[in-house]
Structure 1
């Protein structure tokens, strides 16, 4: 009986299963390897908790938090929205702009949840294959979007999981030759030297996503942001649920944005560790290493099954892929210097180097 009542858009979905975090070295979810918040701001957080009223709902629109974020990215507060992670904001975008059977698109491979959220919203999702080494074909993106009359185009930059980062010229070319909403997903942009949030000021069809989960090391708080022109942002607020972000997440994110130098200090270390890890991985002729400007690295190693088995034996978690496009590929989150050394030791064991 219950099967007859289920939303047909999700009936055949497979549950998203989060990987276990019981391994000794956890490098599978693109999290920050260091708990910056606990190491630097926990005492201030305890004092902040004393000021909170847990019997009251949180600030429905997270005004103080948005004010701090707006100042951080040089935006007007009315051009911002906060969500329970960027996932909630992506759903807001789909609710506001995509109707039944309308298309959303992105390149393949990219963040897998774009397609899932689109299906749940009743839309259709079409992917645009990349070229060699997962480099996007800009003309193909433009032509595909226009052929499908797509409502929304998601562009993740740096792209998860390939690490590809678009240039400003590429993004402008796409924007000016299409007519859809462009969601510029910059959740990993803190790790790159290419950030284009300011494009929203020129184009009212551009919505930029940012997060506290990656460089700011607050994945557990689930805080995401979007920035867009007021004329665009007004529609996201029409579908936003009230009181969406709890008081603890608001308080933690406020503290991080009040102390951005804490994040920037660790950011330099992460970038240094990433570059060193890429260089060491490239010393193995058996590993194809994709360049990355993010906090993760995509590789395609020879003897894939042995790598998986050896990693499990050493209690090291990587992200493994089963899709045709990413068959035998592994995504490695950048860890601490010590964790990265264990990764290199693992591959040295596999390839007897």
Structure 2
């Protein structure tokens, strides 16, 4: 029998959401009628300019992709108000950026901090480098970071501190002064995950000038509508970026992803409309679900909303299944450390999809 690393043998596989094909087959639904509100995707779809760019570039897929990505770095730098040497691009969404952080900064036995509940893929990836999680707290009731818990978790073994803002799955923001407090308390790299920053109309790029231990992580998967193309990027001090490039695969971004990313950033009207649609949808969902007596919904600065459903008489698995039967996919948040079995998260949809979701949700919870 071949030998497997101990940590891999002990690691539970990451379980992604089920596909529309699987759900349609199990519940006898038409695929085109299923409403997907579980993955925080863009209900508007991609930029038409991105689709045209892919159609043109597909003729060249017999060639290797670009390695330097200078034109895309330039566009990202302009979009993010930084210099191109402060940009690194990943070819598996923000997940490859996390992978590169692990390769560059983690040694076995050293620690990274996550405030729970938050995005769990940080832990999933970094454990493969035999890194040790140190948990801080996100105060769900107040929907804010417990800053002191982060400071208390710092040690001489801390290499990375993850701060997700807006936080996934709660949708709350971390105040800039709190980020500065943490940056000034450690020489570890503080990773501010801004995957959803466009929906909040707030970012932390201005802090890069004064803090060399700040790393901002972003993605093309949300407001930019390219989740299927798998493009992520990071912003940091040029020396940090140079170190990470040493660990980065040379051809990690495909030709089609490269073309789609460039075209999207060069389509400001699409980005503006996409942002406005998601914010409008979010506020509509919040207002309407707030009217349902036995669901507690939390305000959000992202493109999803967290709901406490314990008063409905169902747990998250039960309600999620009942919604699936009706063709609505939401996220059962039981797998998020720091939450119990009574939380679901719903992404924004088109207003037509939102209305159908709310109608079905009301029917399900009022029948109990």
TM-score normalized by the length of structure 1: 0.93
The residue correspondences of 1:229-248 to structure 2 (distance < 5 A) are: 229-248=237-256
One of 322, 343, 347 as aligned partner of 2:334: 322
Q: Does 1:69 align with 2:104?
A: no
1:195-234 to structure 2, matched below 5 A, reads 195-234=203-242
Q: Which residue of 2 aligns with 1:294?
A: 302
The question of 1:30 aligning with 2:40 is answered: yes
Give the Cα separation in 2 of the matches to 1:139 and 1:271: 31
2:64, 2:284 → 1: CA distance?
46
Q: CA deviation at 1:44?
A: 4.6
- 2:50 and 2:187 mapped to 1: Cα distance? 44
Alpha-carbon distance in structure 2 between the residues aligned to 1:260 and 1:215:
12
Instruction: Go from structure 1 to structure 2 and tell me whether the alpha carbon gap of 1:261 and 1:352 turns closer, same or farther (over 3 Å shift).
Output: same
Contact 1:167 1:194 (8 Å CA) reproduced:
no
Write the deviation string for residues 88-117 of structure 1: whole angstroms up to 9, x where unpaired. Answer: 111111211111100001100111011111
2:54 is equivalent to residue 42 of structure 1: no
SS at match of 1:322: helix
Deviates more, 1:317-326 or 1:184-193: 317-326
Deviation of the 1:284 alpha carbon: 1.1
Q: What is the distance in 1 between the residues matched to 2:55 and 2:18?
A: 29
Cα deviation, residue 8, structure 1: 1.0
Contact persistence 2:166–2:302 (CA under 8 A): yes
CA distance in structure 1 between the aligned counterparts of 2:4 and 2:54, rounded to whole angstroms? 43
How far apart are the structure 2 equivalents of 1:331 and 1:257?
A: 29
How far off its partner does 1:342 sit?
Answer: 1.4
CA distance in structure 2 between the partners assigned to 1:100 and 1:245 by the alignment: 28
Structure 1 residue 79 and structure 2 residue 89: aligned? no
Unaligned runs of 5+ in 2: 24-33
Distance 1:121 1:342, change over 3 A: same
- The 3-state SS of whatever aligns with 1:161 is coil
* Residue 258 of structure 1: how far off its partner (Å): 1.2
Q: Which moved more, 1:177-186 or 1:324-333?
A: 324-333
Alignment of 1:1-353 (within 5 A): 1-2=1-2, 5-22=3-20, 24-37=34-47, 39=48, 41-50=50-59, 53-84=60-91, 85-133=93-141, 134-146=143-155, 149-301=157-309, 302-305=312-315, 307-323=319-335, 325-326=338-339, 327-352=341-366
Once residues 141 and 182 of structure 1 are traced to their aligned partners in structure 2, the CA distance between those partners, rounded to angstroms, is: 11
Aligned residues: 347
Aligned equivalents of 1:45, 1:239: Cα separation in 2: 28
Provide runs of 4+ in structure 1 moved above 4 Å: none
